[in-house]
Structure formats: structure tokens, C-alpha cells
């Protein structure tokens, strides 16, 4: 892996000053002074340090913890507007407080450019400056897991940790996987880690031995599931991995060591039964436990014996063994006296006479 740049050269500081990005001793005009007073009165958190960890991740320290509303995923669109960058950079998910830290957050961004001088204003406060990096996260290998899905797997022994294991928000649910890093991103033993931040909206490029190229998108909530650091990426709808064909995977955010695999035929899941929980949700049982959350992102159609058609999507992280919960979409509801035939969409499973009885 490329050595991380740790010190911004003095020339950079001079160039920043000459460009007018940072001013020293400049008197505030009346409007600026007023804005500053308002900010102080409202006790708005202020950025004290910005450290790029890799091309898609910033580690930002504030002078105080952020307000609960400013890290609430339900407010993501508003929170994005709090972070104003130059160079078309923006955040892609909410800041996450690092375990054991008072006010240091992992902040995922769109891809930075190496050596580019970025400015960041938080809630319209004075700009802070940092130097972008194109450093990638080390990923050991890719692995096919279904006929349309593969994983990119990384390991902590290689000095790579998924952010789910080191943030306060997930600590209680991570058990023995949770730990903390110090200010230099080292664990208690002194081992330094690079961080995989949120993969929300990330993708990889796939090229085949037949000359085809396409994009595979990240499957939400799979990047740190089942005790592994093996996020899933799925082919476009309707596209399948062809047995015998070599697939080579590239990512703007990852340096993949073993990036190729030869596709093989993998038998789809077999649906065994379906049972309504209420008018909007039902349990779907597979014949065999997949041992990992391979139901993520899957959907089924429901064809009623009254001629109606509904659609349902897997509820992320709901799998218990061979059973997963599916929720109806688009405001649909199950009718009490209607029987629904379950039909997997995009051929991710086989279903023979699997019927859901409404209630």
C-alpha cells in the first residue's frame, strides 16, 4: 500500500494563504461578526482538525460533540448541506462518532483527488483546509456468492477495519468485534488500521474475459454482516454471471489484491414456505440456511387468486437462520381471504407452489 502523506508542506500553507482561503488577523466586518456571535450563542460545533484517511473517508474532529439531529440518518439530506466543500466533494452518509472519542467522527465522502487543496465550511463557518488523497483501501480478494452477486473481502490482520466495528452507534450490537482506535488510528496493541467507511451508493466496475464491462452496485447493509468484512456487490437487474467466464473487478476506492474470479454455476435458493405476520409483512422461509445475509436487496412478487399483484422487499438484517422478513412496497396490503403465489424477481430463488395466505 502507498505510504500516507502525513505533513502538509510549508509551500502548501503559503499557497493557501496567498489564495485567500485562510486569513490571519483580518478584521471581521459587521455581518461576519454578527454571524460569529449567532454561532457562538447557538453553540454550533466547530471543526478543529480534518484528516483524510483514504480517498472516500475523512476523520473530522470538532470542539464538541455534534447534536443528535446532526448525526441522524433520517436527516441525511439536511446534514449534507451542513458540509460545504469546493471541488465538487460532498459527504455521502452521516458522521459517525468513533468509539471512545469525545468529538472525532468518521465522515464518508465522494472521491477526493490526490494533492487537491480542499476547503470545508461546516454550517457556514470559516473554511478549514485539507489536502486530498487518492489512497485506496486494501482489499484481499473477490468471491462469487450467488449467480449475480460477489463480495470484496478485507481482513483486520491486513490492517483494515470496517467502520461498523469502531463507531459508537454500532458498538452495543457488535459484541467482541467492537474496539476503539487512538488518535493515530492504532488499537490497544499499537496496530494501525485503515478504515472502510460507509459504502452507501458505492460501486465497482467489472470487466469480463469476453470484453464486456458494467457496473455492480453495493448491496446496502452487507459491508460488515455476519462477522465478516465482505460487502456484497450485485450485477444490474437481469444480468447473471456466466459459468466459465473470468470477471475482473476494479474500484476507485479499493486496491484489490486478487481481483479476478472465474464464475461458476450456483444453484439458486429454494423457497419453502411463507407466513403472514400482519397485513404488510410476512416471513419467507428458505429450504437451507444461507449462513450469511444473501437475502439483502431481494424482492418477490405476490400474485393473488383474485387477480391482484403485489410486491415485497426483504427487510434488511432481518434474517434468522433460513427465515427472512419481507415487507410489502408501494402501500400494498394483504387481503384476508386471498391466497398469494410467491414469485422471486430476477431469478434469485426457485419457488414451486409457495403460497402466502393473507390475514
| Domain CATH code at residue 119 | 2.60.40
Query: Per-residue pLDDT tens for 159-195?
Result: 999 999 999 999 998 999 999 999 899 999 999 999 9
* Regions of the chain short of the pLDDT cut 50: 1-3, 6-28, 37-41
**Distance between CA 211 and CA 167 in Å, rounded?**
41
Number of CB atoms found within 10 A of residue 346's CB: 18
* Residue 68 and residue 174 share a domain: no
On whether residue 5 sits in a domain, the answer given is: no
On whether residue 3 sits in a domain, the answer given is: no
- Which of 111, 131, 151 is the last residue before a domain boundary? 131
Closest CA to 248 of 110, 144, 135: 144
* Pairing of the two strands 137-144 and 254-258: parallel
* Residue 301 and residue 214 share a domain: no
CB contact at 8 A, 55 and 197: no
* Residue 119 and residue 40 share a domain: yes
Q: Which residues contact 12 (CB under 8 A, 6 or more apart)?
A: 117, 131
Helix (H, G, I), strand (E, B) or coil at 323: strand
DSSP label at residue 68: G
The confidence score (pLDDT) of residue 26 equals 44
On whether residue 249 sits in a domain, the answer given is: yes
CB contact at 8 A, 111 and 252: yes
Strand arrangement of the beta sheet that strand 57-62 belongs to: 47-54, 57-62, 104-108, 96-97
On whether residue 185 sits in a domain, the answer given is: yes
On whether residue 127 sits in a domain, the answer given is: yes
**Distance between CA 136 and CA 337 in Å, rounded?**
55
Residue range of the domain that includes 110: 10-131
On whether residue 2 sits in a domain, the answer given is: no
Closest CA to 56 of 125, 126, 139: 139
* Residue 244 and residue 170 share a domain: yes
* Pairing of the two strands 246-250 and 203-208: antiparallel
* Residue 84 and residue 22 share a domain: yes
* Residue 202 and residue 165 share a domain: yes
- Which of 112, 131, 150 is the last residue before a domain boundary? 131
On whether residue 283 sits in a domain, the answer given is: yes
DSSP label at residue 204: E
* Residue 274 and residue 254 share a domain: no
Phi/psi of residue 164, nearest 5 degrees: -60, -25
Query: Per-residue pLDDT tens for 215-246?
Result: 999 999 999 998 899 999 999 988 999 999 99
Residue 227 corresponds to which cell in the numbers above?
462477522
* pTM of the entire predicted model: 0.85
* Residue 115 and residue 20 share a domain: yes
* Residue 239 and residue 289 share a domain: no
CB contact at 8 A, 246 and 260: yes
The confidence score (pLDDT) of residue 42 equals 58
Chain centroid, CA 38 distance in Å: 35
- Which of 218, 245, 262 is the last residue before a domain boundary? 262
Closest CA to 261 of 162, 146, 349: 146
Cα distances (angstroms) measured from residue 85 to each of 58, 194, 328:
12, 23, 39
Strand arrangement of the beta sheet that strand 269-276 belongs to: 349-351, 269-276, 281-286, 323-328, 309-314, 299-304, 339-344, 355-357
* Residue 324 and residue 250 share a domain: no
DSSP 2-52: PPPP----HHHHHHHHHHTSS-SSPPP-HHHHHHHHHHHHHT---EEEEEE
Closest CA to 121 of 83, 90, 70, 88: 83
DSSP label at residue 154: B
**Distance between CA 302 and CA 274 in Å, rounded?**
11
Q: What is the CATH number of the domain that holds 280?
A: 2.60.40.1220
The count of structural domains within the chain is 3
* Residue 124 and residue 20 share a domain: yes
* Residue 328 and residue 235 share a domain: no
On whether residue 343 sits in a domain, the answer given is: yes
Amino acid at each position: 500500500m502507498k505510504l500516507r502523506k502525513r505533513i502538509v508542506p510549508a509551500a502548501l500553507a503559503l499557497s493557501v494563504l496567498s489564495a485567500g482561503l485562510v486569513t490571519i488577523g483580518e478584521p471581521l466586518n459587521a455581518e461576519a461578526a454578527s454571524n460569529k456571535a449567532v454561532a457562538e450563542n447557538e453553540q454550533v460545533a466547530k471543526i478543529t482538525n480534518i484528516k483524510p484517511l483514504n480517498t472516500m473517508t475523512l476523520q473530522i474532529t470538532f470542539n464538541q460533540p455534534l447534536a443528535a439531529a446532526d448525526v441522524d440518518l433520517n436527516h441525511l439530506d439536511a446534514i449534507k448541506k451542513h458540509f460545504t466543500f469546493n471541488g465538487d466533494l460532498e459527504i455521502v452518509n452521516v458522521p459517525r462518532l468513533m468509539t471512545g472519542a469525545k468529538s472525532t467522527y468518521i465522515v464518508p465522502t465522494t472521491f477526493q483527488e490526490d494533492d487537491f487543496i480542499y476547503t470545508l465550511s461546516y454550517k457556514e463557518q470559516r473554511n478549514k483546509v485539507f489536502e486530498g488523497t487518492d489512497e485506496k483501501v486494501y482489499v484481499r480478494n473477490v468471491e462469487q456468492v450467488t449467480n449475480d452477486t460477489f463480495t470484496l473481502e478485507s481482513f483486520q490482520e491486513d490492517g483494515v477495519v470496517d467502520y461498523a466495528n469502531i463507531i459508537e452507534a454500532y458498538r452495543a450490537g457488535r459484541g467482541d468485534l467492537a474496539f476503539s482506535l487512538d488518535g493515530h488510528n492504532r488499537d490497544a496493541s499499537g496496530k494501525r488500521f485503515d478504515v472502510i467507511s460507509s459504502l452507501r451508493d458505492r460501486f465497482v466496475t467489472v470487466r469480463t474475459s469476453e470484453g464486456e464491462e458494467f457496473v455492480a452496485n453495493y448491496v446496502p447493509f452487507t459491508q460488515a454482516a455476519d462477522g465478516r468484512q465482505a460487502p456484497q456487490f450485485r450485477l444490474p437487474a437481469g444480468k447473471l454471471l456466466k459459468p466459465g467466464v473470468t470477471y475482473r473487478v476494479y474500484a476507485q476506492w479499493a486496491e484489490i489484491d486478487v481481483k479476478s474470479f472465474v464464475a461458476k454455476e450456483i444453484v439458486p435458493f429454494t423457497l419453502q414456505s411463507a407466513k403472514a405476520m400482519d397485513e404488510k409483512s410476512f416471513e419467507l422461509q428458505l429450504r437451507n440456511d444461507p449462513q450469511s445475509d444473501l437475502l439483502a436487496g431481494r424482492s418477490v412478487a405476490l400474485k393473488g387468486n383474485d387477480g391482484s399483484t403485489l410486491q415485497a422487499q426483504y427487510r434488511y438484517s432481518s434474517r434468522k437462520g433460513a427465515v427472512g422478513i419481507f415487507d410489502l412496497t408501494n402501500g400494498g396490503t394483504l387481503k384476508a381471504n386471498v391466497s398469494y403465489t410467491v414469485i422471486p424477481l430476477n431469478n434469485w430463488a426457485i419457488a414451486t407452489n409457495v403460497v402466502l395466505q393473507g390475514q
